[in-house]
C-alpha cells in the first residue's frame, strides 16, 4: 500500500521535516477546480436534499492542487469526525506506544498479613479497564494481576476500605454543552481518572404486552447495588422505534429510564451511563478479593473533591483521602498501546475513549484535565503540527458537543499536517476503510482496489453527516495523495439519502488520481 511505503520512509526524512517550509500543510492553489467531483458537488448543492442544508466540501492533493471546494471555510458541526483531530494530536504528542497506568497502593501499615489502612486503586486514565473491547485485558485477568500485588506485599486481610481513586482527572466528568438526553446514554458517559466497563450499564429491554404498558427492563451488568432505578418508560406503537433514554447524574445514585420502546421492536441490550466508575471499580475488585479469600472490613468508597465517599447518598463529604504521594505503591498495570485504543476509538466512534485522550493531553501538558487545560493542550499540539488553531471552536474531544465548529478546509490542513508526523503510518492504520469493519456499506458497488485506497472517518448526529480522510494515489508520489473533508449540517432527511451523495463525491475524487 502506498501509505505504508510512505510511512516507512518518514524516518529517513525527519531532518527535512524540521524545515517549516517543508513541514507546513500545503496551501490550496485558489483556482476553481473543474474536476468531475467539482461539477457533481455544484449540481447536488441545489437539489432537494442539500439546498436548505449547510454543505461544505474541500479536497486537495498533498501537493496543493484543489480538486473540489464549496463553502470550504464555513465552520460546521463536525460530530465524530472531531475524533480525527483528538486522536491524531494524542498520537503525535504521546506516541503510538504510549500506555496508561493504574497503580495499587495503600495507606497505613501491614501487620501480620493484615492491612491496617485502606487499599487504593489509583487511576491514571486507562479507559479500557474491564472494557468489552478485544484489545482490553479480561476483567478477571486484570483483577488477578492486582491481587498478585497484594500477595507479593503480604496482604491477606484489609482492615479498612477498598477505594477507587480517580483524582488523576480533575473537573466535571462530562461537558456541560452535551445534550441532557445524551448524558444518560453510554455514548454520553463521562469519567474521571478511574473507570470500569467504559462507565456503561447494560440493561436488557423488551416491549410490554400492549401499547402504553410498561417496558420490561432488567439491569444486566455491571452490578450496581447502590443504585435506585425508576422505569416510567412505555411501550410505543409500531414503527416508533427505540426512544429510551436514561436520566441520571453523578450527584446521587438514582436514575430514570424514560421514553418509549416500540411494540414491534425485538428485545435488545441497551447501554446506558454509569456516573460512578471509580466506585464501581472498587466494588467489583473488592468482590473479587472476597471471592479469593481476602476479607475487607469496611467495604468500598471513591474519592470526590479530595474526600473519601463511602455512602453515595450521604451529604456528608467524608474524611480527606490520603495524598497519592503518601501512599505506598505495590504494583502497576498498563493499558493497551495508544495506537490500539485509537483504532477502536475511530472505528467504533467511541466517545468515552476520545474524551479520555482529550483529557490526558490536558493532564500531561497542563497538569489538569479541566476543559480549559484540555483546550490549551490541544492548541499546543496543533501549533506544533503547523496548523493554526485559531480558526475553529473545539468544546470537547469526541464531537458530541454541538458547539464544536470546524471547517472542511481546516480538516484538510490538519490531515495533511499529520502526513508529516512520524506517527502517520500508525495513525492512518487506525482509520476505517470502505467495505471494512463498521464501514461495510460505504462505496457499495465500487471495486475493492478503489476501496483499499480510501481511509476515512464518519461523523453523525441529528441533522449532521460528515466524512473526512485520505485517498491513496493509484500511482505517483506523496504529492498525489488526496486529503478531503465533506460536511453536511442542518439536514432534514435521513443519512440513507445523504450517504450516496457523499460516496459519489469520494468515488469521483479517487478517479482523479
Per-residue pLDDT tens for 449-499?
Answer: 999 999 999 999 999 999 999 999 988 789 999 999 999 999 999 989 999
Find where cell 475524533 sits.
Answer: 83
Task: Specify whether 476 is located in the same domain as 365.
Answer: yes
The last residue of a domain, from among 250, 273, 296: 273
Which pLDDT score is estimated for 380? 96
Which pLDDT score is estimated for 22? 35
Is it the case that residue 16 has pLDDT exceeding 90?
no
176 found inside a domain: no
pTM of the model: 0.93
Confidence at 512, pLDDT banded by 50, 70, 90: confident
Q: Which residues contact 251 (CB under 8 A, 6 or more apart)?
A: none
Coil vs helix vs strand at 484? strand
With residue 59 as reference, give the H or E element that holds it.
Answer: strand 54-61
28 found inside a domain: no
pLDDT over 90 for what percent of the chain? 88
Task: Specify whether 321 is located in the same domain as 290.
Answer: yes
Per-residue pLDDT tens for 35-59?
Answer: 999 999 999 999 999 999 999 999 9
Task: Specify whether 248 is located in the same domain as 376.
Answer: no
What is the mean pLDDT of the segment spanning 122-128?
Answer: 98
Q: CB atoms < 10 A from the CB of 317, how many?
A: 12
With residue 204 as reference, give the H or E element that holds it.
Answer: strand 200-206
Half-sphere exposure of 491 (CA within 13 A, CB side): 25
Nearest to 79 by CA among 479, 429, 398, 350: 398
Supply the range of the domain harboring residue 163: 101-170+277-334
193 found inside a domain: no
Confidence at 277, pLDDT banded by 50, 70, 90: very high
CATH of residue 161: 3.50.80.20
Which pLDDT score is estimated for 498? 96
Task: Specify whether 357 is located in the same domain as 447.
Answer: yes
Enter the C-alpha cell of residue 20: 517549516
Task: Specify whether 329 is located in the same domain as 366.
Answer: no
Enter the C-alpha cell of residue 353: 475513549
Which pLDDT score is estimated for 477? 86
Give the total number of structural domains in the chain: 3
Task: Specify whether 93 is located in the same domain as 105.
Answer: no
Confidence at 26, pLDDT banded by 50, 70, 90: low
Is it the case that residue 20 has pLDDT exceeding 80?
no
What is the mean pLDDT of the segment spanning 369-388?
Answer: 95
23 found inside a domain: no
Task: Specify whether 288 is located in the same domain as 231.
Answer: no
Q: CB atoms < 10 A from the CB of 53, how many?
A: 17
Per-residue pLDDT tens for 107-116?
Answer: 999 999 999 9
Is it the case that residue 12 has pLDDT exceeding 70?
no
19 found inside a domain: no
Asked if 331 and 339 count as a contact pair (C-beta separation under 8 A), the reply is no
Q: Which residues contact 158 (CB under 8 A, 6 or more apart)?
A: 114, 115, 118, 119, 289, 294, 295, 296, 297
Is it the case that residue 440 has pLDDT exceeding 70?
yes
DSSP state of 149: H
CATH of residue 83: 3.40.710.10
Task: Specify whether 492 is located in the same domain as 359.
Answer: yes
449 found inside a domain: yes
> What strands lie across the sheet with 109-111, from one edge to the other?
109-111, 114-116, 157-158, 295-296
The last residue of a domain, from among 228, 245, 273: 273
Confidence at 11, pLDDT banded by 50, 70, 90: very low
Confidence at 219, pLDDT banded by 50, 70, 90: very high
Which pLDDT score is estimated for 15? 33
Q: Which residues contact 209 (CB under 8 A, 6 or more apart)?
A: 235
209 found inside a domain: yes
Task: Specify whether 212 is located in the same domain as 234.
Answer: yes
Q: pLDDT higher for 132 or 33?
A: 132
Task: Specify whether 109 is located in the same domain as 91.
Answer: no
The last residue of a domain, from among 254, 273, 292: 273
Which pLDDT score is estimated for 356? 98
322 found inside a domain: yes
Task: Specify whether 369 is located in the same domain as 463.
Answer: yes
Bridge partners of 379, per DSSP, are none
Is it the case that residue 168 has pLDDT exceeding 90?
yes
Per-residue pLDDT tens for 382-420?
Answer: 999 999 888 889 999 999 999 999 999 999 999 999 999
Task: Specify whether 131 is located in the same domain as 157.
Answer: yes
Amino acid at each position: 500500500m502506498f501509505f505504508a511505503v510512505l510511512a516507512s520512509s518518514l524516518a529517513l526524512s525527519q531532518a527535512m521535516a524540521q524545515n517549516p517550509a517543508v513541514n507546513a500543510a500545503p496551501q490550496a492553489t485558489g483556482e476553481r477546480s473543474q474536476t468531475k467531483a467539482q461539477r457533481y458537488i455544484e449540481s447536488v448543492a441545489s437539489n432537494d436534499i442539500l439546498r436548505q442544508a449547510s454543505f461544505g466540501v474541500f479536497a486537495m492533493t498533498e501537493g496543493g492542487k484543489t480538486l473540489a471546494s464549496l463553502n470550504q471555510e464555513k465552520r460546521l458541526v463536525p460530530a465524530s469526525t472531531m475524533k480525527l483531530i483528538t486522536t491524531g494530536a494524542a498520537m503525535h504528542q504521546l506516541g503510538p506506544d504510549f500506555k496508561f497506568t493504574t497503580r495499587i497502593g495503600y495507606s497505613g501499615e501491614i501487620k501480620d498479613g493484615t492491612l491496617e489502612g485502606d487499599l487504593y486503586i489509583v487511576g491514571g486514565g486507562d479507559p479500557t479497564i474491564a472494557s468489552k473491547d478485544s484489545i482490553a485485558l479480561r476483567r478477571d485477568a486484570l483483577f488477578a494481576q492486582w491481587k498478585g500485588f497484594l500477595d507479593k506485599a503480604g496482604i491477606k486481610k484489609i482492615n479498612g476500605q477498598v477505594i477507587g481513586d480517580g483524582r488523576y482527572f480533575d473537573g466535571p466528568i462530562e461537558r456541560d454543552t452535551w445534550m441532557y438526553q445524551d448524558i444518560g446514554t453510554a455514548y454520553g458517559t463521562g469519567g474521571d481518572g478511574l473507570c470500569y466497563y467504559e462507565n456503561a450499564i447494560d440493561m436488557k429491554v423488551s416491549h410490554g404486552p400492549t401499547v402504553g404498558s410498561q417496558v420490561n427492563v432488567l439491569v444486566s451488568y455491571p452490578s450496581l447495588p447502590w443504585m435506585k432505578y425508576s422505569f416510567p418508560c412505555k411501550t410505543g406503537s409500531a414503527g416508533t422505534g427505540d426512544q429510551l433514554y436514561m436520566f441520571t447524574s453523578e450527584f446521587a445514585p438514582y436514575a430514570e429510564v424514560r421514553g418509549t420502546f416500540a411494540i414491534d421492536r425485538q428485545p435488545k441490550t441497551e447501554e446506558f451511563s454509569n456516573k460512578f466508575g471509580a466506585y464501581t471499580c472498587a466494588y467489583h475488585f473488592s468482590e473479587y478479593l472476597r471471592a479469593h479469600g481476602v476479607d475487607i472490613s469496611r467495604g468500598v468508597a471513591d474519592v470526590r473533591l479530595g474526600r473519601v465517599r463511602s455512602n453515595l447518598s450521604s451529604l456528608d463529604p467524608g474524611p480527606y483521602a490520603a495524598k497519592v504521594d503518601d501512599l505506598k505503591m505495590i504494583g502497576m498495570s498498563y493499558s493497551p498501546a495508544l495506537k490500539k485504543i485509537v483504532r477502536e476509538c475511530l472505528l467504533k466512534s467511541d466517545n468515552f475513549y476520545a474524551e479520555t485522550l482529550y483529557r490526558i493531553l490536558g493532564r500531561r501538558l497542563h497538569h489538569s484535565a479541566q476543559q480549559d487545560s484540555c483546550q490549551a493542550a490541544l492548541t499546543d499540539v496543533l501549533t506544533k503540527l503547523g496548523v493554526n488553531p485559531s480558526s475553529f471552536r473545539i468544546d470537547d474531544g469526541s464531537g458530541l458537543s454541538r458547539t464544536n465548529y470546524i471547517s472542511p478546509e481546516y480538516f484538510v490542513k490538519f490531515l495533511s499536517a499529520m502526513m508529516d508526523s512520524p506517527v502517520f503510518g500508525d495513525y492512518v492504520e487506525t482509520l476505517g476503510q470502505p467495505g471494512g469493519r463498521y464501514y461495510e456499506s460505504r462505496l457499495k458497488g465500487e471495486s475493492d482496489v478503489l476501496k483499499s485506497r480510501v481511509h476515512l472517518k464518519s461523523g453523525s448526529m441529528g441533522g449532521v453527516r460528515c466524512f473526512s480522510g485520505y485517498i491513496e494515489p493509484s500511482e505517483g508520489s506523496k504529492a498525489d495523495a488526496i486529503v478531503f473533508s465533506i460536511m453536511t449540517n442542518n439536514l432534514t432527511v435521513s443519512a440513507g439519502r445523504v450517504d450516496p451523495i457523499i460516496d459519489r463525491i469520494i468515488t469521483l475524487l479517487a478517479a482523479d488520481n
